[in-house]
Copies of this chain bind each other. A is one copy, B any other.
């Protein structure tokens, strides 16, 4: 019943995360958390969900003696995001077609 929409990407929080990552090489955990405005635990879980789907890659490394995590979209992630946005556009278009047929 989800008309081509990717449920993993459709949830508001993850849609924001994906949209953010779609325009960057990679982004830091804290940066994403502040932009999306969710708690650490929630962001961690969303990134994990995106990771399991193969959409996001997490890179952990130390910087200034502090451990940091960078997230980036995988190729599949970019593709899925683009497809999802396309599905949204199409949702409107197909609605139009259905209307004509009615």
Residues of A at the B interface (CB closer than 8 Å) are 1-3, 5, 7, 10, 12-13, 15-16, 19-24, 27, 31, 35-38, 85, 88, 91-92, 94-96, 98-99, 102
Contacts and interface: CB of A to CB of B under 8 A. Distances in A.
Given A2-B12, A19-B91, A23-B92, 11 more contacts: A1-B36, A1-B37, A1-B38, A3-B36, A5-B15, A7-B12, A16-B95, A19-B92, A24-B99, A27-B99, A35-B98
**Copies of this protein, total:** 2
Given A12-B5, A27-B102, A102-B27, A95 B19 contact: yes
A11 to B, nearest CB: 9
Contacts of A19: 91-92, 94-95
